[in-house]
A and B are shown apart, each in its own frame.
Chain A
């Protein structure tokens, strides 16, 4: 984990803890929903907006009986604690979550 990652992770944490309004639901259940959210992310470079669009939370979201946490998401790099989804590309924590979660 690099200092740069740590700094950005901290910024994200404080934004979310400070009450940043995010779109936790609806979760991206279908391919079209995923594409719509990814399209909005591609068109938006601002960190706060992207956290909001992706529906970031500091705790896992349970959806349809499945706990959606970064640590089980296929975009999560375990050792770097990082989200590799090209449209997000940010440091995260294992217990965070977003609505683009997929396994």
Chain B
């Protein structure tokens, strides 16, 4: 039996929605088959008011063990560092987070807001939001860079806007079944099993990427979304085309560019007008190159690939 507590800070509930839509295992399977005891969750918890407060106090005091502390949403510090804009159970949520993180065996940040601040922390960041252990790319966040949970791990970051249900459930199951120590994390504390490959890995438009055939409209069957529509698939670490959404598709398969939602800088360019769904260029070349590619190499490769492209690459083709 593993006790799980899930709280929300500055959040839209997107990760809760994602989690509740999980299949194989579903949220119910976690309870019935994997021995997870949900102490409380904003959409599932039964306790209210004083009863909830008593439960939280009992967790903080150690009377109730908390094996997994899941946090969704940003830690809100406004106004002026007090956290009063996000009160929960009689005190600022940030104070609960500080106390609960100290007694958690594992601490898991779910979604971009909890991992790096996400959309709420975008400039000018009026809610003074930050992630549990990062603010965008900067290590530290609310808990500080030296934080480790009782199991000796830093915050396990499961980014995404929202995170895929399987990324959440599989990490929760690993922890609940005693395999938490086997998790290996990347430099941004994301489980490597999910976040080493790119969104582009498994994308059905890779042929068009290779032959430099561009999609110029959303939902277009043929063409790669990198050249014109701002797809960040080649530089975003995610398994979106390996572990499909709803088990059937992904953004890029459906003709919608990857927005890079698993990376700390998301949303990119602080959402300046004209920067979303549009490849940013400098002197005609993409501003952001695929990971590991330099500009000179890119130009040579793409010119050659274009010249070598077969006729079928320019024709309408089902890629979903």
Contacts and interface: CB of A to CB of B under 8 A. Distances in A.
Nearest to B299: A103
B278 A78 contact: no
A31 B303 contact: no
Contact of B274 (A35, A79, A80): A35
Interface string B211-246: 010101100000000011000000000000000000
A56 interface: no
Interface stretch (B17-25, B66-74, B280-288): B280-288
B303 A72 contact: yes
A8 interface: no
Interface residues of A, number: 27
A63 B314 contact: no
Interface residues of B, number: 24
Given A29-B284, A31-B278, A102-B284, A75 B214 contact: yes
Which secondary structure dominates chain A's binding surface?
loop
A79 B56 CA distance: 67
Nearest to B303: A72
Interface string A85-99: 110000000000000
Given A66-B299, A78-B309, A80-B314, A30 B282 contact: yes
Nearest to B308: A78
Contacts, number: 66
A76 B314 CA distance: 10
B137 interface: no
Interface in A71-85: 71-72, 74-80, 84-85
A78 B314 contact: yes
A75 B311 CA distance: 15
A29 B306 CA distance: 22
A64 interface: yes
B113 to A, nearest CB: 28
Contact of B306 (A28, A32, A71, A101): A71
A34 B287 CA distance: 14
A74 B274 contact: no
Interface in A52-67: 63-64, 66
A43 B283 CA distance: 24
Contacts of A71: 303, 306-307
B138 to A, nearest CB: 26
B283 A74 contact: no
B302 A102 contact: no
A46 to B, nearest CB: 22
A38 to B, nearest CB: 10
The list of the 5 closest CB pairs from A to B, nearest first, reads A102-B284, A74-B227, A72-B303, A79-B311, A74-B214
22 contacts: A28-B284, A29-B282, A30-B282, A31-B275, A34-B281, A63-B283, A66-B284, A68-B284, A72-B299, A72-B302, A72-B303, A72-B306, A72-B307, A74-B227, A76-B306, A77-B314, A80-B314, A85-B216, A102-B227, A102-B281, A103-B299, A103-B302
